Structure formats: C-alpha cells, structure tokens
Structure 1
C-alpha cells in the first residue's frame, strides 16, 4: 500500500502524535492526508490571552439570568454522592465502604464496571427540559463528562462513552434536541481535564484486611480484558494511570492545592492533552453548544498546555462562523482580571459581594452535585426560598444563577426535587419581570445581611448568607424606566422601607418616585417618599411566597 494512503487510512482512528512519531511525518503534513485531530476553526480569535481578551459577552447570556443544569453521569449510578469514582478507591472512605457492599472489591469491580451497570432506562429529556423551562430557565446545561473521564456523548476520541458503554445512548445529543425543542440556549459542562491526577487513587491497594496488597483496577490494560465484558476496550483510556503518582498523592486532599497544575502534580503528557483537545472540539462541532462550562482554573490544562486556549479560540470562531456574530459563552474559575475579559467568570457555590463590571455566573445545586440518595432520605434539599434568595442576590450584582437539579441513575428526578422546581416556577410566574433582561442599579442592595457577607474562598464557597435574608434586606435591579426592589419575607407590620430611596439620598438626588406597584398584586399600594426612605404599605394578602418585588417608577431613565 502507498505510504500516504496508509497514513490516511490510519488517521481516522489513531492520534496525530502517534502517527507523527511512527511515520516521521510533520504534524501539518499529516493534516493534508487525513484527520488525525480536530482543526481549529478560522476566525478573528487566536489561542492566546491577548486575542481572547477581545471577547464580549453576548446579550442572550446577560438577559438570561437563570439556567438549569443536569450534572448527570456515570457517578450517579451508585446514587451515593460526589467524587465517587475517586473515593471508591480510598480504603475506609464512605464511598469505598458502600462500594464493597453494593458492587464488590475495587480490585475486581472498578469504576469501569459501575459504568457498565448504568442504563439510564427512564431518561426522558423532553419531559425534564420542558419542566425546567416552565420553572423559568432561559438556558439548560448538561454534563458532557466529569473527572471520571467518561464521555456522555458519541465521542470520536474516547471509546469510553455513553453510546458504546453503559446506557448505549447519546445523552448530550438527546439533551441538545430537547433544549432546541423548548427554545432554550444549550450548554455543556466539561470536567475531564483533571482525570490524570484525579484517578490516582485507583493505583492503590488495601493496606489491611484480606485484600491487602492486591492492586485496584487502575493499572489494567487492554490486554487484561480478554474474556471480560470490556474486551477490546483499554481501561487506560478511561483511568489514564500509566504514570507516576503526584507528590503527596497518598493524601487524598492534596489534589485541591494541585488543581492549578502546580505543587508537585504529575504533569500529563502531550498525548493526554491533545486527546482532551480533540474530544472537546469534537463535542463543540457535533452539538454546537452556546455555552461550555469548564471546571478548571482559567482554561483546561493551562498553563502546562495551550489546549484550553485553542479550544476557546475554536469555540468563539465557530460561533461567529455559524451565527455571523459571537454568541458563545465559556465559563472558567479563579480568573485574574485579564482572564475575566476573555470568558465569563464562574463562582462555585458562592457570590460576589459587589456589582461586578462584567457579567458572571454562580453555579450551585439543591443537593449534591451528583445524585445522593441519602440527601433525599434525610429531606435535606435546599428550599425554594434558598434558591429564590440566591437568584435575586446574584442578579442584583450582574450575575446569572446556574442551578443543578441532581438526576437519579435511571434518568429521573425525585418528587422532592420536582416540588422545588415547580415552586420556583410559581415564583417566577409572579416576579420574573424583576429578573430577566434586567441590569444592576447604582447599588446592589441594602439591609443587615450586607455586613455579614462572607469572602470568597478558592473558586467560591461562600454561599449560605442568603438563607438569612429578612424583610429588611433588599436587592435592586433595573430595566427601562423601572427600578425593582425585592425584599425577603413578608413583614408582620406589612410595611417596607427602602432607605436608599430617601429624598435627596446619594442614589436618588433630586429624582422623585412617581409610582409604586407590587408585582403579582393588581390593586394599588400606598407609599410615601420621605427623608427616611420610601415607605410602602403592603396589602393584607401576599401575592406569592418567599420574596416580593416592588416596581418603582421615576428613579431610573
């Protein structure tokens, strides 16, 4: 066979780095004779921070304010909570103990076998996305992969994917079609860049007991699969553990300080980085998401590789080529000032304590990130009030709320979660005017809660204060000629004082309130603007539950 034809035939299935090494061909030449990797879309953006800094957040995201997320993958199969595929290999951990009882010892039944048992048999994406739209979601995000390295889509570069293993379904494809049917913007979350150090626990073995010294399945290879259900698959394409352990790997918490690819982490090789690039660009090209959420400091694999920069440039260029303008959003965490201009800053389970000059997002969940049956049994989901309070607070500071509703192994949500989602919809039916397409006012709010705000910790993790909001706490948004002041809780004396709207205050100046309405109430409310603030007398009956929005005219515009 002609050498060129041989390379062209192999390029469809083998990575470019291997072909280049084997045949001695330069990478650019290989692209001419096959498809060893995904090409970066051409356009105005280049894979460097200076170029990405030209990014502008699209209006659809600035107006959306509220999205819902299905943080759903193979780690939901045990219904035992977060980071299962890491901690099931940690002797004595609660996930390890549960795994022994439910599946067997991790030397014999590893996470690959948990994937095999996951069937998603009752998954109905149309039903769930329709429910989320009714609750007010303006965009929907589905998890494409997690740190477990399993792709929930028809992946060209990762054979451990939901079409070939486990559910035998294109989950991202199903979610994308459902979102399009409901007219929602569609996003995907990508977490797999950290599988290299994250799975290092799978290289261990028990230190005590009858299985002491017997290695877990993290070092298995394709050759070990003969006669098994996974024959023909290579576990190393899932676990990626053919490498030395990171410094301090024996301490499972060390990974947190190594998340930025420093502090002694074992650095992934080029093949791993290029595989991640190809998988992610393939995902973008197949499903055309409007948003890609990266669970990474800045961009994936930065600064040890430019793979994340190339993905970002491709995402933006592809969006421009498809829409005629930039409609794409990329979320990243722990961003410096320059990087916040390049993408949308995501704060995990937390909130900024100020009005941010650029749009941002907080991501949170009503339970665990992955479904946890124990939270259901203990009835420990966040209340509707918790969600509403956080939404209003975040929006007042120029942010969006992305809310995860954990999905069970079979693809359904439980009745407690359903009740929360439906009640969010009831609140939105009354108050969405004060949320969607709004912008921050001169100040984000007033009240005693401001003094109790907690600082950000790492990528976020300062939420919780919103649960303590009272009727004396207010948050402001504006749209057109209307100022919205939302208060939390119905005061016993049925009076609200908006102190920031006192006559002659720094926020008001010489402007005067001309009209006040209570959203959801058809009658007129009595009000008076004086030296102490805007005093509003409320009706006897509440128009809704949890939080209440005043629509005020005469101050803005």
Structure 2
C-alpha cells in the first residue's frame, strides 16, 4: 500500500511539474513537450474532408494517368485555376464540360446545403467503427470555414449555405459519444489576396487570430495543420503560436498537434509525425522505423474529399484497411482513416460499410490494438509481412493477417498462457529451443471469431 501511495504521489508531482512548465517560442522548447498519452492509446481515428469541394466532388483517378497526390478532389479549385499544369488538366476539362467556363468556384456555395447532415448519426458511425478520435477539416486550402470565423466573413458555413456551425455541431455529438475531437486547419489559402500580397500581415491579422478563435471556441483535442510548405516555420510564427497553445490556451493540457508547421518541420518538429498514403518527404514509409509518436493518414479511396469519379477498384477493401491498421499499430503508430462526405451531409454507403467492418473486427481484437505499444523485440516488419506483434503491460499479442495452418514460432518468449481472441476453446502451445510454439486451432466457419486478421494473446510474458 505504501508503494502504491508513493507512486501515486510521484505521479501527481510529475503532473504538477508538467502543468507549471512554460514552453518558449523555439523548437527546442516546443519539442520537449510530451505527446499526450491519450493519443498513443487511441490508435484509430477518423479524418473528415468536407467543404465546398464536396459539391463538384470530382478528382482524377488512376485511369486518368495521374499520381496519387494529384487525385485529391479537395484540390478542385486549384485544379481548375491552373489548366497549364499537366496533372490539373483533367480538372479543367471536367469543369468546363460539366459547369461551363464561366461557372466560378464561389458559385458552388449555393449547393453546399448539408440538408441531410445529422451529427449524431455521424458520431454513431465513428463510435461503431471503433474510432477513438475524429479530425474534421475546419478550413481547407480554399479558405472556406465550417465555423463562423470572423476572419472568413461571408466565406463560411454560417454566413453562407448551409447557415450552420458544422464544426461545433459535430464537436458536440462526437464528444457526447465519449470520443476525442479535433480539427484540420490549413495555414495557407490559395487565393486569399492578403496571403498573396503580404504573407506577414496574413499571418498576424488572419491566420493566427483565426486559429486562436478555433481553439478558444471549441477547445479541440487535436490541431492538425497543413499547407505549411510555402514558407519556413519562422514565417508562419509557428513556435510563437505553439507557445501560446501549450501555455495559455484552454486546450493546453490534452491537445495534440502534428509536424506540419513549416516547410522544414515534417518528421522533425511539432508533435506527432505524419505520413500520407505511406509517404513522408516523398519517401515510402512502409516498414520504416519511426521512433516517435506518429500517424498515417489516408483515404478509403484515393482521394480525401468525396470523388464521384472513383470506382470500386479505387477503394481499399475492408481486409486491406484492417491490415493497414495492424501494420501501423505494430510499428508504433496510429491510423487516421479519412472519409469524404457528400455535399448533402451523408457519408457514402461504401465508406460506412468499410468502417462497420473495421468496428466489427475491433470488437473482437481491440485488446491487441488500443493502449498497446510496439514490441521492442519484434523482428523487422517487411513489406510482405503477415505476422505482427503489439505489447501491453506484461502481455504480448501476435497478429496474423493470413490464417496460419502451420505452427507459429515466437522468438524471445519461453512460456505463457495462449488464447485466440474471440475463440471459445483451448490453444496448444509448447516451448522448443527457447522459443514459444503456437499451434493454431482447427476452425470451422461457425467457430471463426473474425475475418481478415487473427490475434493470439500471450499472457504475462513481458
């Protein structure tokens, strides 16, 4: 009892010291702030790209011969504004043929009605999917905000259609489900005259006041910045803002930020490191060792915003998505999986189906995902890996993304009770040459606990 009290007392002292620490406006100080524990425990989040780009809801796909970064439908306005760039030509062709050369992007506001948007239904979909946090595009590069930002006067979802605080409504519903909630925010705006004419004035009078309003108004758990690549963090005054965020803001204790704060900061500064469709700095991150809290973001399809041009083959299957989740978690990361709602406020059914399958799998196997960490003794994960490991406390989890008929050998583990999660039956194991040998049970369709991946829990071995 005395030992437990001492641990509790020391933890209080540590928490108090953290609360008292002041973070200065330089990267050495900012980077010293620990990433809040809730993030690494959560493992699975939902990204939402929703805005005026959801009205045309169109982007090129693989069949159009463009690379993955040129398929994003949320880049529609940029695409139709630069027809001379080869990768954007498809946007211009579609726009002119569908809406006409004289149809301006701003005209899409009349059709961003969100008439079927039910934030409670969205929150239920996310909760049923097993997600632990949600990140919504409060403002993408187009500058249109989903909350009544005074810096975006007459260019937000309250002043214009749908005349509703979409960011606030979803925040309430998501938190009512017990999930964490945060916002994506683009530092730059493609066509904002102030940004194009005087970036310093834009930062001082538009960007920073707007970000502070977002934080003060909603107290988000995540601030996921983007659009940082035009300028170094010094121009964006990122460390000054983060110093305020960590020291003074109402979200200072629990907020998580990413690494997109200047063209030099990704995988170097900020909070969590981010990969996107398995790329970081144009380098494939598959199998990469990342010894820092990190997160992979990607769409269920090849676009973040909803694209009506995508076909079934452009969407990842439920099996592929579950395997992606397993891979990221086994390597110490999180998965932020994106959905792109339609302009009417509905989540496309195919996206709902994928999320439901993930949730069904997590109901059986979530113990091997939530709250776990990378197993330090795990063998290197190769591209074609089918056996993964996670660890939590003294327990080790062996995750197989392909059903193993033959025995599974676990090096570095000599004993321990073995169970197959979701299976009501015994699992045989033995020790040979200092290694644990697991004999997979014979499963019938009626006794199969889940689809796509299976988890063996080895108790009390670490």
Whether the aligned pair in 2 keeps the contact of 1:354 and 1:444 (CA below 8 Å) is no
CA positional deviation for 1:141: 0.8
What SS does structure 2 have at the residue aligned with 1:332? coil
Higher relative contact order (CA 8 A, sep 6+): 2
Whether the aligned pair in 2 keeps the contact of 1:352 and 1:397 (CA below 8 Å) is no
CA distance in 1, matches of 2:393, 2:316: 33
1:520 aligns with 2:422: yes
Aligned with residue 35 of structure 2, among 29, 46, 57? 57
Whether the aligned pair in 1 keeps the contact of 2:259 and 2:269 (CA below 8 Å) is no
What SS does structure 1 have at the residue aligned with 2:77? helix
Whether the aligned pair in 2 keeps the contact of 1:443 and 1:476 (CA below 8 Å) is no
TM-score normalised according to structure 1 size: 0.69
Match of 1:188 in 2: 183
Total equivalences in the alignment: 411
Aligned with residue 276 of structure 2, among 342, 348, 358? 348
CA distance in 2, matches of 1:524, 1:51: 52
Report 1:155-554 matches (<5 A). 155-159=149-153, 160-191=155-186, 193-195=187-189, 198-199=190-191, 238=192, 243=197, 268-274=198-204, 275-297=206-228, 301-318=231-248, 322=250, 326-333=253-260, 340=268, 342-350=270-278, 351=285, 353-367=287-301, 368-375=303-310, 377-445=311-379, 450=382, 452=383, 469=385, 473-491=386-404, 494-498=405-409, 501-502=410-411, 508=412, 512-531=414-433, 534-541=437-444, 542-554=448-460
Across the aligned residues of Structure 1 and Structure 2, the Cα RMSD in angstroms comes to 2.5
CA distance in 1, matches of 2:228, 2:25: 17
In structure 1, the gaps of 5 or more residues are 1-41, 200-237, 244-267, 453-467, 503-507
Aligned with residue 77 of structure 2, among 85, 102, 105? 85
Whether the aligned pair in 2 keeps the contact of 1:125 and 1:175 (CA below 8 Å) is yes
CA positional deviation for 1:307: 2.6
Give 1 or 2 for the bigger CA radius of gyration. 1
Whether the aligned pair in 2 keeps the contact of 1:72 and 1:143 (CA below 8 Å) is yes
What SS does structure 2 have at the residue aligned with 1:194? coil
Residues 478-502 of structure 1, C-alpha deviations (whole Å, 9 max, x = no match): 11221001011223xx23423xx24
In structure 2, the gaps of 5 or more residues are 1-19, 60-72, 279-284
TM-score normalised according to structure 2 size: 0.82
Residues 59-112 of structure 1, C-alpha deviations (whole Å, 9 max, x = no match): 11111011011111111111103210101123372221221233221xx32211
CA positional deviation for 1:302: 2.9
Q: Extract structure 1 runs of 4+ deviating beyond 3 A.
A: 238-243, 333-342, 443-446
CA positional deviation for 1:383: 0.8
Whether the aligned pair in 1 keeps the contact of 2:259 and 2:270 (CA below 8 Å) is no
